[in-house]
Structure 1
Amino acid sequence: MAVLNKIRQRSVFLIVIIALALFSFVLADLFKTGGFSGQKDQNTIATINGEDVSREEFARRVEGFQRNRRNATSTQAVNQVWEMTKQEALLKEQIEKTGILVGDDQFNNMLKQVYAGNPNFTNEAGIFDQAVLEEYVANLKATSPQAYDQWQSMEDQIELQAKNQLYYNMIRAGVGATLVEG
């Protein structure tokens, strides 16, 4: 009873303490997000493993997804791109942890797989030719810097695809068990 009586006597003091604590939480959040404007919050839609996903990049990827798959609704496109973004971020972290690198031979094999059916990169016999591809890239670099930047972006995607394939192959090799082991 004596404790409740003391709390009643100092109720104004207790209310001031609670108000200051709440105010400090609000101020801490404002300083963490970058002030009253919230500029960081407006440009960042998510943070995955410490990496921010920008609104512009995400919107560009959704638009590209919808262009490639014309029958997808905008909700399906957003959901699919979000899942791909999460998967890429998590895979990137695991690939960095394992130290997977793609060598020139592996990269050239992936290029061969990706562009094997493209008639622009085949020789007279209809077989993929690395020299024709290199000539095409050199021509792009000389004539169109913007197209060359797109080509470099495509090469980065192919390298990422090769790393993902190596990572999945490592997992597949580690998961299998023989009858003797069973």
Structure 2
Amino acid sequence: MKNWIIYSILLFLFFMWFPIIFYFTFMTWEFPNLYMEDNPWIGFIGGYFGAIFGGIVSGLFTFLGIRYTIKNNEKEKFLDTYDDKKLIVDEVIKELNKNFVNPQHLPTEEKIEFLIVSLPALNGLVNIIKNEIGGNIARKVSFLLGMHETITLKNKANLKHTSRKEIADTHFDYILTMYKDLSEYGEKLDDEYSKYKG
């Protein structure tokens, strides 16, 4: 954003000083074969470049005005929703940490039983993110939940080509990835809040 401001100021100064430089360069000196009086080309060139420069300047300031409005609207929208989003993310992270992170150290069969029993609770947390926050983070946790639900842990017939330990570890990896993504999202919210408030 700062680069756009600098470029805009430089361009504005150029257009402000261009007529003065042009005048002292071409209008006050005498050059061979350059006739400033009664020359229709001078009027044409002046009108032509004036229209071009005027269009560029007005277009530039219109663009910058729209850009500023969009950025300001994004800022206001973010600040309006920050507290709610941050509270929800922190609550979900706390629940994941409390109920899902520590059981990863259980023996394999206990892990599997835990995953089967706790699936509705995990589904509830994901739905909170989907309904209350949305966006990319909701799509990510929904995808991970979908991966988590692809294998029915109760059905031992489906596990004949995969070890019980591998099944349990894989599903806990999905949960830990979800935990990591939500933690990073919370940090991103804090960074953006600091940027807007700083």
TM-score by length of 2: 0.29
More helix by share: 2
**Higher RCO (CA-CA < 8 Å; seq separation 6+):** 2
Larger radius of gyration: 2
TM-score by length of 1: 0.31
More strand by share: 1
